[in-house]
Copies of this chain bind each other. A is one copy, B any other.
């Protein structure tokens, strides 16, 4: 097993699947995931970190494969009680999952930073890689809907309550300017041999990480060691609203559009076989283009992708 150190900028499901492959080809203790927390939300007074939890649950083999979020064997009894008491329940919190949120909330209230709590949670769930929230501070991804620039909604209201079926006018990362990278993030970005931008939604998962002062510049400085994986395959996202959102915000929902976004940050873009004919457009944006199957139907396929990604810079 080759064991370069690898840092991965990560959102939720796509990143989690990639990491599940990466741990098969790189020593897990050499891997740092720097995870988006712009989607974090307070629900029922509990601090929920969807991307951190998706990565954690996926790596521990407990992610519900049917939904792509939450845990296997989940029950919904607490939520039923909350519903009975008149609480809003459009965000599905399972009972197993709730234990994580209750734990996290208690520790945060005790004064522990999110990075410390995340280390405890991932240790408890038996995860072998290091999972870092991008920041210990509060950053909130907020959106306006097309045609209604004065009404801003939170990420979860867009993504879950409205099932991302509304056109977005703008996205911002509230509080970003006042945040700092969580302990360990800058060092991981500076010294890891390879940096990977996971196949996550560029705008909703990767941008909020890069919005934290210092991170974009650090990635930029390492451009020659950065590989991005396109979350867009054949003009569409495998899951979620990435393609639609790129288009709504004036970007081309294609590997070429992704290349335009990532070219300042990464020297290599990995695209799917389905986009082979567009490799030249990617290279025209100043990135080396690697073509390989990127759809991670199984952890083995994810491992093959990880091998190619690591190999691209080795």
A105 contact set on B, CB distance < 8 A:
45
Is A9 interfacial (CB 8 A cutoff)? no
Question: Are B82 and A103 in contact, CB atoms less than 8 angstroms apart?
Answer: yes
Q: Interface digits, A93-129 against B, CB 8 Å rule (1 contact, 0 not)?
A: 0111111101101100100000000001100110000
Copy count, this protein chain:
2
Segment from A84-92, A161-169, A296-304 that makes contact with B: A84-92
Q: Which residues of A contact B (CB under 8 A)?
A: 44-46, 74-75, 77-82, 84-87, 94-100, 102-103, 105-106, 109, 120-121, 124-125
Given contacts A75-B75, A77-B75, contact A82 B95 (CB under 8 A): no
Given contacts A121-B85, A124-B86, contact A77 B96 (CB under 8 A): yes
Selected contact of A79 from candidates B80, B84, B99, B100, CB within 8 Å: B99
Cα of A212 to Cα of B232 in the assembled complex, Å: 65
Question: Are B82 and A102 in contact, CB atoms less than 8 angstroms apart?
Answer: yes
Question: Are B44 and A84 in contact, CB atoms less than 8 angstroms apart?
Answer: no
Question: Are B95 and A46 in contact, CB atoms less than 8 angstroms apart?
Answer: no
Taking the closest CB of chain B, its distance from the CB of A119, in whole angstroms, is 11
A121 contact set on B, CB distance < 8 A:
85
